[in-house]
Amino acid sequence: DGAAGLLISSKEPKNTALQFNQFASTLAFNREKDMAWTIGDHGFEMVLSTYVPDIIRENLQSVLQPLYEQYTLSNSDIDFWAVHPGGQSILDKVEESLQLQPKQIEASRNVLSEYGNMSSATVLFVMQKLLRSDLSSGTKIISMAFGPGLTIESGLFTVYNPS
């Protein structure tokens, strides 16, 4: 289990921080049975099919396109990826599909190895690991998480370092 939170402010930060640039969301149609949460007698009951990594791979470009269009970016312009490590197979499919270098997704793999999948909090652990890795101002990061339905939520961030 894990817990995480964000502090969002319009004030200029005194320490290294992430500037939130853009948010995008997509829904993989007709895939709600592949990833679902229901509330049972003992809390949340999750359904997670083995098709989830392939569904994510098939829908990556549709969620990334809006992030790229406004800032005239492509995959090669993104320095690091904070991908929710829902499992090794998900990370493998994202890395393969986007043709990432292992270092670009390393923080996600490290969080999966160190903590496992903590559900919603996990991607924030990945972002924290990236922030603690001494990134220079202007570094571009895309954060990506997955949820019931099957939804893919992502955000484009730029590292801001006041020094």
**In the prediction, which pLDDT does 163 show?**
77
**In the prediction, which pLDDT does 134 show?**
87
pLDDT digits (tens, 9 = 90+) for 48-67: 778 788 888 888 988 899 99
Task: Answer whether CATH 3.40.47.10 is correct for domain 17-160.
Answer: yes
Q: Evaluate if residue 108 carries a pLDDT over 90.
A: yes
pLDDT digits (tens, 9 = 90+) for 61-105: 888 999 999 899 999 999 999 999 999 999 999 999 999 999 999
Rounded Cα–Cα distance for residues 106 and 31 (Å): 28
The set of residues, in sequence order, having a beta carbon less than 8 Å from that of 63 and lying 6+ positions away, is 24, 25, 26, 144, 152, 153, 154
The set of residues, in sequence order, having a beta carbon less than 8 Å from that of 29 and lying 6+ positions away, is none
**In the prediction, which pLDDT does 55 show?**
83
Rounded Cα–Cα distance for residues 142 and 7 (Å): 18
**For the chain, first and last CA: distance in Å?**
35
**In the prediction, which pLDDT does 30 show?**
73
pLDDT digits (tens, 9 = 90+) for 125-142: 999 999 999 899 999 999
DSSP type of residue 50: T
